[in-house]
Amino acid sequence: MKKTLTESDYFEMNRVGWDRRAEAHFGSRFYDLKGFLSGETSLREIELAELGDVNGKSLLHLQCHFGMDTLSWARKGAVCTGVDISPVAIKKARELAQELQLGAEFVCTDVYSFQRSAPAPYDIVFTSYGTVCWLPDLSRWAQVIASNLAVGGRFYIVEFHPVYDLLAGYSYFTKHEPDIDEEGTYTENASDAIGKFAAWAHPISSVITALLAVGIQIERVSEFPYSPYNCFEGMVEREPGRFYLSHKENDIPMVYSITGRKIAD
């Protein structure tokens, strides 16, 4: 009889896969860790323009991978906490923080289980590029965001557009059971990190509705016809750092972002 997998089983599957990916990503050209260590930012034009000044703000980065974006915000003056499910990634993030002498905290846990150590909530909660697909329930995700965000604080997500997933052959709408695929990673050394992953589709409407339900007022929703990452097959870099895909001679929406503010407890 086939075993019915639980949420914990899926999270463990993804944890194993992301441990493998983290190891491969450290030395990849895609992440360019050498450039980052020499002072380059890992942040992209979209989030830099839309999130703006973070100096002196406390910032919670959910699903931070091995901390390059978290530490890039720390370089801009934010007091950062990064959270990720992969112990391999979190170990590397802590090593990078120590090497760069940046005061960022890193916590190894899944998003739903995160509990902050500081009594005060954060001024900013941030998450980016390939995050919500690893979570089965956006209502619980939004509750974690709201419980850790100060009244008046900002929430910001920049994420790959779910229309791409639809064109790639996956559901646009959320299904109870995740899609499970065995695949390599999205960096040039993909064969170094073959793993099995469970992922859930979430339309933009579900993301917005979940945030509104926990008292986060939506201030801006943006969509972009390009990705700042060359991470999908067939992309064309028409402008420096902007990668496009077309469908029937029209540009596919590649990225969306949402800016919100918590209005009350």
Strands of 161-235 (E only): list them: 179-183, 195-199, 216-224
Quote the tokens at residue 147: 């419980």
Contacts of 103 (CB under 8 A, 6+ apart): 74, 79, 97
Q: Per residue of the chain (265 residues), what is the pLDDT tens digit?
A: 567 899 999 999 999 999 999 998 898 888 899 999 999 999 999 999 999 999 999 999 999 999 999 999 999 999 999 999 999 999 999 999 999 999 899 999 999 999 999 899 999 999 999 999 999 999 999 999 999 999 999 999 999 999 999 999 999 999 989 999 988 778 877 566 788 999 999 999 999 999 999 999 999 999 999 999 998 999 999 999 999 999 999 999 999 999 999 998 8
Three-state DSSP at 34 gives helix
Q: What is the pTM of this model?
A: 0.96
How far is the C-alpha of 74 from the C-alpha of 254, rounded, in Å?
Answer: 27
How far is the C-alpha of 64 from the C-alpha of 107, rounded, in Å?
Answer: 10
Cα–Cα distances in angstroms (integers) from residue 144 to residues 80, 130, 210, in the given order: 17, 18, 11
